[in-house]
Amino acid sequence: MQAATLALPLTQPVAANSAVSQRLPSPHLLKQQMPLTPELAQQVQQHRQAIRAILEGRDSRLLVIVGPCSIHDPRSALEYADRLAALSRKVDDKLLLVMRAYVEKPRTTVGWKGLAYDPHLDGSDDMHAGITLSRGLMLSMLERGLPIATELLQPMAAGYFDDLLSWAAIGARTTESQIHREMVSGLPLPVGFKNGTDGGITVATDAMRSAMHGHRHFGMDAQGHPAIVETLGNPDTHLVLRGGHAGPNYDATSIALARQALAKAGLTPSIVVDCSHANSGKDPARQPAVLRDVVAQRLAGDHSIVGVMLEGHLFDGCQALGKQPLQYGVSITDGCLGWDSTAQILEDAAQAL
């Protein structure tokens, strides 16, 4: 019996709700077009090594990841970078300042997703322009001598920036994700996993243990092709405490419980405290109090606290994206601490330490 042949049309009608795709350059191509110079590549490696030394207790400085909640305006971001670079030279003996270069923004439901997604701030979602602008901005920050950090939200976007980063975070909503744990296991840089939004740290400790091991997983190679990715594991993962639904978790009791949980899981008790989010009740004006408490704990002998995170911009507060014209140097996402206050509390922290 002759087998039946199913004839398919060469083109299928597109349903009204079907996805429409637009090709982006591969990470390899964008890196070729916007290369990291050998000098800057060496600088990135030195900064990664400095952060590793802090995590391992070989460097007594406090790691400080500071800057805008998310970057929406390159001009104000670079002004902030200039100021931070100048401050870094004043406090470098006690603090290692790392600039937040956050170009992706996790959303609880919907909203502006960050510079890499919508650089024109108009809902056009010109992601080609977004990744190009984001990489160029990060290169400019590196040229100012700053180590940079970001939150890695979309694994497919990570390859466009991973060579520029000295530190990265996995957010509270994605720490539980197997895909993100696999991604981190292949990154050659220190990565902090945040505790879950409920405030518990079990999810984060599980993530750290997973990312420390090698994986084989579905992924994308540098040329943008689907690939089997094999990783060796990341030994430089650590815990970031950001509070939870029940409130803050930066106090001495919470730190002690976290330290015990990390030790029980066989993990190095290296803890970074996020001074914003639930630890400040989402009030940027409370961040200085959190920082002072953390510094006091360090001075009291708790060296498991190796770093802090601060959300700061040129000016206090935040503004709605739809408001026109936008105020220069003010966040369009979470509220931030203004530069004057940020510089003062960091100088105070350096002096105290």
143-167: pLDDT as tens digits:
999 999 999 999 999 999 999 999 9
- Cβ 250 vs Cβ 257: under 8 Å: no
Alpha helices in the chain (DSSP H): 27-33, 38-55, 74-91, 127-143, 155-158, 178-184, 202-212, 252-264, 287-299, 339-352
Q: Which of 65, 33, 37 is nearest to 309 (CA)?
A: 65
Pairing of strands 226-230, 216-220: antiparallel
Crossing angle, helix 339-352 and helix 287-299, to 10 degrees?
Answer: 10
Position 114 pLDDT exceeds 80 = yes
Q: Which whole number is the average pLDDT over 211-217?
A: 97
Position 255 pLDDT exceeds 50 = yes
Check residue 4 and give its pLDDT: 42
φ/ψ (deg, to 5) at 316: -65, 155
Position 8 pLDDT exceeds 50 = no
Q: Which CATH architecture has domain 27-352?
A: Alpha-Beta Barrel (3.20)
Q: How many CB atoms lie within 10 A of CB 296?
A: 12
Domain boundaries defined on the chain: 27-352
Crossing angle, helix 127-143 and helix 74-91, to 10 degrees?
Answer: 30
Distance CA 170, CA 48 (A): 17
Q: Which whole number is the average pLDDT over 199-215?
A: 97
Contact residues for 352 (Cβ-Cβ < 8 A; gap 6+): 295, 299
- Cβ 240 vs Cβ 169: under 8 Å: yes
pLDDT in tens, 19-48: 768 899 999 999 999 999 999 999 999 999
Q: Under DSSP, is residue 39 helix (H, G, I), strand (E, B) or coil?
A: helix
- Going by pLDDT thresholds of 50, 70 and 90, the confidence category of residue 15 is low
- Cβ 81 vs Cβ 329: under 8 Å: no
Position 82 pLDDT exceeds 60 = yes
